[in-house]
Chains A and B, each alone.
Chain A
Amino acid sequence: MEQSEELLKSELILNELKKRQKTKEVVDVEEERIKVVFFVCGENRYAFYGTDIREILPASDISWVPGLPEYLPGLINVRGDIESVIDLHFFLGEEKPDQEKHLIAMAVRGDFHSGVIIDGIEDVIDIPVSAIAPPLATLNGAARDLVIGSIEYDAKTISLLDVGKLANLITI
């Protein structure tokens, strides 16, 4: 009886391997990664979730439309689709961009889609979800309404902006 309960060496090894595998799975779950797009707006760097940015368009003519507020500079034609454009500088308190040098990030979240004026793309990388910290408590102004977290990148703290919050700010 006692002999039958004694585990074989192979069983011990197998169990040990299974334990290790389980531990590895736990580690894998903890290390879930997410794509973020680092970009420049005015004097500072910010980030969006990569899943919220469909594409980056070069500087293009923005058709001004009467009646729009300052933060909505107009419309762009993206391969036949007419899209709105949001000037992110307005909300972040950054200086207005050079009309010829800006880029337009096409932001998409659910039903919301719009071009967003930025000044340049810094990087697109995968980071562990755990690397996203809560927003800095020292943030103030309109930027605070857009920030969903902060990321340490290149020895600096970058504010992660939420496209959903941007949509809520603009939707009347």
Chain B
Amino acid sequence: MSDFDGSLIGEAFHLLLFSVGGICFGVDTGQVAEIAVYKGEICEDVFWFHEEMGYAGKMVTYQSPVIVTIKTGTASPYRVIIDAMEDIAEFSQSDISLFPSMLEPFVLRKGLWGLLSQRERIVLLLDFLRLQRNNHLNY
């Protein structure tokens, strides 16, 4: 279940901002259990972000990869390698825009649920738990 339920409406929340392949994402820090530098180790239960998101045909190079461990509420954490971690910033609900309704059915499948317009760039808000659930259903 997502952390963004009715009880959070109107409250400020903190987002972990990062970029992969030049695309900027924001994740609620409440979903993050741990962040660790990725040193090239090979682990079966760690997923590359661009593969999880389906960067079909796009060349992606990681400059400063880190592993984020997502709280799943189960014994198995969800661990994903992301890149270019920038900042943890505070936002309020009023900063968030919805995706254009035409795109929503597509983006929700990838766990993307909202947008922030920040310094002339667009930040895609990602719910890692929704992404994990959707990817799991697809397999």
Contact = CB atoms under 8 A, between A and B. Distances in A.
Q: Do A and B bind each other?
A: yes
Nearest to B56: A66
A83 interface: yes
A72 interface: yes
A141 interface: no
Interface in B91-137: 97, 99-103, 105-107, 109-110, 112, 115, 117, 120-122, 124
B23 A67 contact: no
A68 interface: yes
A21 to B, nearest CB: 49
B55 interface: yes
A113 to B, nearest CB: 8
B115 A66 contact: no
Contacts of A172: 105
B122 A63 contact: yes
Given A75-B115, A80-B117, A68 B122 contact: no
Contacts, number: 60
A72 B53 contact: no
Contact of B103 (A72, A77, A113): A72
A67 to B, nearest CB: 4
Nearest to A86: B102
B54 interface: yes
B82 to A, nearest CB: 13
Given A75-B115, A82-B122, A67 B100 contact: no
A83 B55 CA distance: 21
B102 A67 contact: no
A64 interface: yes
A82 B118 CA distance: 12
B100 A114 contact: yes
B56 to A, nearest CB: 9
A69 interface: yes
B107 A68 contact: yes
23 contacts: A63-B23, A63-B122, A65-B103, A65-B107, A65-B112, A65-B124, A66-B23, A66-B54, A66-B124, A67-B53, A67-B110, A68-B103, A72-B106, A75-B115, A77-B122, A80-B117, A82-B115, A83-B100, A84-B100, A84-B103, A112-B102, A114-B102, A167-B102
Interface of A: 63-69, 72, 75, 77, 80, 82-84, 111-114, 167, 170-172
In the A-B complex, the 9 residue pairs with the smallest Cβ-Cβ separation, listed nearest first, are A67-B110, A84-B100, A66-B53, A63-B122, A67-B106, A172-B105, A66-B110, A68-B106, A84-B103
